[in-house]
Amino acid sequence: MAIDTTRDMTFDEFDEHDNPPPAVTDFDRLAEGALSRRRFLAGGVGFGAAAFVMGTTALTPAPTQAQSRLGFEAVSANGLDTVTLPDGYRWHIVARWGDPLWSDAPEFDQESRGTGTSQETAFGDNNDGMSLFAHRGRTILAANNEYVNRSIIYGNRASKLPETADDVRKGKAGHGVSVVEITRRDGRWGIVQDSPYNRRITADTPMMITGPARGHELMKTVADPDGTTCLGTWNNCGNGRTPWGTYLACEENFNGYFSSSDPTLERTADQKRYGVKLKDWGYAWATADERFDIAKHPNEPNRAGYIVEIDPLDPTSIPKKRTALGRFKHENAEVVLAADGRVVVYMGDDERGEFLYRFVSRDAYVAGGDNADLLETGALYVAKFADDGSGEWVELTPAATGMSSLVEICVRTRQAASAVGATTMDRPEWVAANPNKVEAYCCLTNNKNRAKKSNAGGDPTPVNGPNPREANTYGQIVRWRPSAGDHGANRFAWDLFVVAGNPTVHSDARRGSPNITADNMFNSPDGLAFDAAGMMWIQTDGKYSNEGDFVGQGNNQMLIADPDTGEIRRFMVGPRECEITGITFSPDRRTVFVGIQHPGEKGDSHFPDGGQTVPRSAVIAIEREDDSLVA
């Protein structure tokens, strides 16, 4: 019966299932105290905490429309079941869920929605983060396939759920990463079938465990008594790309795939912190693959929740799980270099009240050198933001956390961060670094629990500097500038680049920061990336009801921002019930590739093929009609 209640939940609801709101006592008083203090600090500005941040410590001058560097006409919000772009731009489909990567594989079957075999040879579902790799005149696209929509991929079943072992195989193959060569023919990008680079990585692909946790007791299982190898990657959300040409897939909501054959099993504290439950999220993987049964294989969840490094140019390479970068619900991995050449990776943990992290490699990147294992050894830090606009990266060491070893920190990273009093955040999604300045940005997508409820570890989540609104509906983007212009520095200054809101509905802090207007408003910023010109692209994964708090905001959308002026302009609106996520640019800057994820997740879309077809997640290409630069 519990399966019936959890299977229709979103990942967010699933995570909260065993973390009910606390009784209203000390916690509320603590939160109220923080709010009052913020209002005092806000002075007479009348905009609550956000005004304090924007008004007195802002790193950006007020937006000026006069000298806009955004060379397009804003598009209006809408609820159409298509992609809307500014005048002078066009789009086309590059790859859809179920498109075969080899010529002897079947085309997508609208009735069955594929089989285990067909899905293993086809583009995966729900494409998310992605990167392009140019190699010897060829173009290779690596794209995450975050998850599958049960009601769509199993729409051929009356239950809309997996009913056979092959259904489970199909679901596992819909997940992972698709590596596919693409080319531009007759003005359209598309898949190169039978390319030697084409590869499907799924929930069953052999992987290597690297870094501090490799070989540790916590990683050992019956199938892998050495704790050095594991099978598969799943729920890869945002991504990363290294300067040495590898692809980073980021395991996010890995927990919802495990279940217990023993209904009386007492879960460990670690399983509770990471949301591993006795019932899965509805994919039934344990019914066909015993390793997802935590009653029989309690260490299996310890082998998921990592950054996975993949060589996209070698289809025979074994992906490497990088335990040094910590275990949590990884969003993306933004890779930059410190002043001394060490590799810095910024990473968010996307759950309400969780944290923002930074990894710094031990060794420096050497152009043209052997950089293959730079992500194997280094230090992990978590962010602490102070209300005065300063902040610091706190290194997670045994001494600082009270944990027994670096291994434990790499596996129980959330608990380590809680132990040092890191700042609880409003669901950190993508981090993006400005290529022209030493600064980085992170989308804090929303957090209905802010100042209402603790995180899954029991840390209180009072309103704080970068998370200034209780029950945060709309989200915000925080920015930090490392000290001395060095991403390797342990201190930084921060401000809020934008506080999203709806100025047509609200006149308090929910209206948003001054760079939000009725014409560019949005909710729930998620995907984030810079183009070569230094403009910042913002993708949303928000409410698309177009009603109430969200009236006038339409479908999920993509906007472009000028980081120097704070100006934000809506560039694209997606089809119905989709999220816009994943972005990468062609080397000649004439094409931007964008992900349309889960159109019709609730049944109201036939994107991209129209008529009565099954809605399919897709990668699209956007170009200018005159073929000039898009970015």
In the complex, the residues that contact ligand FEO under the rule CB under 6 A are 146, 237, 252, 331, 350, 429
Q: Which CB sits closer to ligand FEO, 16 or 429?
A: 429
Residue 252 site contact among Ca ion, ligand FEO, none (CB < 5 to 8 Å, cut-off depends on kind): ligand FEO
Closest C-alpha among 375, 336, 358, 356 to residue 464: 356
In the window 419-458, what residues touch Ca ion (CB under 5 A)? 429
Work out how close the CB of 328 gets to ligand FEO at its nearest, in angstroms, rounded to a whole number.
11
- Per-residue CA distances from 204 to 24, 287, 328, 332, 617 (Å): 45, 15, 21, 22, 22
Residue 334 site contact among ligand FEO, Ca ion, none (CB < 5 to 8 Å, cut-off depends on kind): none
Q: Which CB sits closer to ligand FEO, 202 or 586?
A: 202
- The reply to whether 526 sits near Ca ion by the rule CB under 5 A is yes
Work out how close the CB of 353 gets to ligand FEO at its nearest, in angstroms, rounded to a whole number.
14
What length does the chain have?
A: 631
Which residue, chain included where needed, has tokens 């399919």?
Answer: 616
Tell me the sheet residues that pair with 431.
442
Label the pairing between strands 342-348 and 356-364. antiparallel
Closest C-alpha among 299, 297, 249 to residue 274: 299
Q: Which CB sits closer to ligand FEO, 15 or 331?
A: 331
Q: Which CB sits closer to Ca ion, 387 or 526?
A: 526
State the binding string over 195-234 for Ca ion (x if CB under 5 A, else -).
----------------------------------------
Work out how close the CB of 149 gets to Ca ion at its nearest, in angstroms, rounded to a whole number.
10
Residue 577 site contact among ligand FEO, Ca ion, none (CB < 5 to 8 Å, cut-off depends on kind): none
> What DSSP string runs through 307-354?
EEEE-TT-TTPPPEEEGGG--S-B---EEEE-TTSEEEEEEEB-SBT-
Work out how close the CB of 184 gets to ligand FEO at its nearest, in angstroms, rounded to a whole number.
29
Give the C-alpha separation, 403 to 117, whole Å.
Answer: 45
Q: What phi, psi does 165 have (nearest 5°)?
A: -60, -35
Work out how close the CB of 572 gets to Ca ion at its nearest, in angstroms, rounded to a whole number.
17
State the binding string over 269-288 for Ca ion (x if CB under 5 A, else -).
--------------------
DSSP H helical segments within 505-606, as ranges? Answer: none
* Residue 337: count of CB within 10 angstroms of its CB: 17
Closest C-alpha among 515, 540, 336, 325 to residue 434: 336
Residue nearest to Ca ion (CB): 541
Q: Which CB sits closer to ligand FEO, 475 or 566?
A: 475
Q: Which CB sits closer to ligand FEO, 127 or 605?
A: 127
Q: Which CB sits closer to ligand FEO, 515 or 540?
A: 540
- The reply to whether 81 sits near Ca ion by the rule CB under 5 A is no
Work out how close the CB of 546 gets to Ca ion at its nearest, in angstroms, rounded to a whole number.
18
Closest C-alpha among 282, 283, 442 to residue 355: 442
Three-state DSSP class for residue 101: coil
Summarize as ranges the residues that interact with Ca ion (CB under 5 A): 237, 429, 526, 541
